[in-house]
Amino acid sequence: MANFILRTAEPKDVCDILRLIKELAKFEEMEEQVILTEKELLEDGFGDHPFYHCLVAEVPSDQRTSEGYTVIAFAMYYFTYDPWIGKLLYLEDFYVMEQFRGFGIGSQILKVLSETAVRTRCSSMHFIVAENNKKSIEFYKRRGAADLSYEEGWRLFAIDKERLMKMSAK
């Protein structure tokens, strides 16, 4: 059983947050797509107007990983607005290191995020899960999440930076 504390991320955590983002990307076989830097994470999450919020799970030093890490999970989220239902908590990324899964860390993170959404009067919490991540899909479904891609037929689109620059120059 892993003892852990769940806390709001601090500026000192950006190197661990980036490490966990890269681990998640590797798990999803998208490692090469992570271009974010510690500097950007620091500026974007800990300035006067943060673009994201983050929780980290930390274990005591006697339970650290073989690499010496004590920050073993994170959840990055932000608030957005849906013109049909109002405020939303958007869970951008959520990851628990493999050796620490099954100890209730993910469930506790989701509980704290749910409490945050309720406290801030959000109508819903939204997130995306990779199609091939069956364990995560089941994790969320067991907690009552609805798969909107099947139920409502929504598709996710993105316009990359190059095309944004091209459109903004017109």
Q: Which residues are catalytic?
A: 140
Q: For residue 161, give both structure tokens.
A: 């930076």
Per-residue tokens: 125: 């919490």
**Where are any strands of DSSP class E within 20-114?**
53-58, 71-82, 86-96
Indicate if the alpha-carbon torsion angle 54, 59, 61, 66 is positive or negative: negative
- Locate all alpha helices (DSSP H) within the chain, ordered by sequence: 14-27, 38-45, 105-119, 134-142, 148-151, 161-169
Chain centroid, CA 88 distance in Å: 14
Tell me the three state secondary structure of residue 143: coil
Look up residue 54 and give its DSSP letter. Answer: E
Six-digit token pair at 86?
Answer: 């109002």
